[in-house]
Every structure is written in structure tokens, then in C-alpha cells.
Amino acid sequence: MKKLYIAAAASLVAGTMSAQAPAATDPTDDIAKNARAVMEQAEAVAEKTSPWTSKGAAGLNVSQATFSNWNAGGDPSIAVNASFNYSLDYNDAKNLWTNRLELAFGINRTSTDGTRKTNDKIYFSSNYGRLVARKLYLGGTATFNTQFAKGYDYKVSSTDYISKFMAPGYLSFGLGLTYTPTPWLTLIASPATYRATFVCDTKLSDASSFGVKSGRRVLNEFGANIRAEVNTKLWRKLSLYSRLELYSNYLHNPQNIDINWDVQLDYALTGWLTANLYVNMIYDDDILFGKTDTSPGSPRLQLKEVLGIGFQVNF
């Protein structure tokens, strides 16, 4: 009888433990979970160790005004300015390759003046270097710069254009050194730089615009180029990008330095709304102003400033 009680108790305990034990899992579920975990970990490691980095911004500023029987007066208008900036860089500790694209176009339309261009830019640069010393790279750089549409000096004429796509167009190739003392500062010195100025328009080339000889389409120059780039955040919501380029032509008046300085400030008002200030200053010894039949004209400091508030998407 005692043995019977012991056997019954053992069966009861075994049944209870069997009921509390977790159900057997499908081995394929475990394999799938482990595979997903491994893939997620690999992707996280790849993101941390990838030599590629990219950054971009697309913006659109729009303003509009309409008047009807308005005692204070006014001229109905609409203004649109679009911009796109993108950079793609590669850095594996031995090789440095940086690329930057800048596009901008703006118009303003009023009932009296019609449609006028307010902003126009196409810029691309690519720089490659091989590490030769700490933060110092040996390699080459290339830049291209032109505009989308015809440009006019509206103070003189709104029908006689003074520039257009590839008139002028600037293309340069240089060999030299790149120095990156900090993550936000890049210095590029190219003592051997070829620069070509294209004027692909018969009217402008016949007028010897942008330094080309009458009837020619290209002005060839060889000299030295220095470029300094600053790309940083001055404050949590305020970012700065500045690029200064200096060029000296060995073949003609090397003492006259061409200057091209771009400065862009972006202040993030909200996640989508941004205030932008863009300033561009140019001094080119080959671009002459005030040229007449009796005067050869002279180079002058060129200045462009664009201030706007609008939508901007960063990616």
C-alpha cells in the first residue's frame, strides 16, 4: 500500500512539472532570430566603419504680394529661390576623396518688370589625396563652375544678355597638397593648376568677354590655386560653410590675384523652416567693367547677397 502511495505521488509531481514546463520551440524560429540579430549587428558595424559619408540639403524660398485698390500703392510680385547642396566624401585613413555639388536658381516676377533672374549657380568640385604625412595628402583637385540661364545687366538692358550657360564656364585641374588640421577646416594648395575659361557664345566671344580674345572660345591659364574650406556649426542651430579660392596666373600678371569667396549661413528655425544668408564675392582680373570704344574698362569687385526664409530638407 505504501508503495502505491509513493507511485501516485511521483506521478502527480511529474504531471505538474510537465504542465509548467515551456512548450518546445521550433528550431527554425531560433535560426531566423539569430540570423536577424547577426545581420543587424553587421549593419551597425558597417555603418560605424564605412569610409563613405554624405550630407545634403534642398531648400525652397517663396514670397508673394498682391494689391487691389490699395491706397498705399504697390507692385504685385512673386519670388522663388531654390537651392541644392550635396557632399559625398571617402576617407579610409590612407585615401581622402571629397566631392561637393552646389546648385541654385532664383527668379523674381513683377507686373512692371516681368521676370528677372536673382540667383543662378552650378558648382562642382572633386579633390583626391593620398596620405603622405599626418593629416597631409598628396593628390589632385578639379572644379567646374557655370550657370543655368542667360544673365542681364538690367540697369543697361533687359534684352541684351551678358552671360549664359558655359559663357562663362570655368574648368580647372590642379596638383598639390591637402591639409586637414581639424575636421571642420580643409586647406588645398595646388601650385600647378590649369584653368580654362569657356565662352561658348559667338556674340560674347566676339566682344572679348571674360578675357578671351575676339572670336576665341577658350582662355587657357596656368598658375597656382589655394582653397580654404570651413564647414562647421557655430551654434546648435547655426551652421557655416565658407570657401575662399585664390588664383594666380603664371603666364599673365601673376601679381594680380583672382578671388572667389563664398559664405553661407543656415539657421534652423524649426525642423523644416530655415533662414539662409548667402554671400559671394568675386574679383577676376580678366572680367572688365565699363568697357567702351575709347576705354578698355577695368576689373571690379563683384558682390552678390541672397537672404531668405523658407523650407529646407537636410539628408
Closest CA to 93 of 42, 132, 125, 142: 132
In a domain, 272, yes or no: yes
Closest CA to 142 of 125, 129, 122, 121: 125
Alpha helices in 23-128 (DSSP H): 27-49
In a domain, 146, yes or no: yes
Domains contained in the chain, number: 1
In a domain, 96, yes or no: yes
In a domain, 13, yes or no: no
At 294 the pLDDT is 77
At 34 the pLDDT is 66
Reported pTM = 0.82
| 148 compared with 74, residue with greater pLDDT | 148
Domain that holds residue 89: 53-314
In a domain, 7, yes or no: no
At 25 the pLDDT is 52
Q: Cell digits for 271? A: 525642423
Do the beta carbons of residue 182 and residue 229 sit within 8 Å?
no
For residue 259, give the CATH number of its domain. 2.40.230
The mean predicted confidence, pLDDT, of the chain is 88
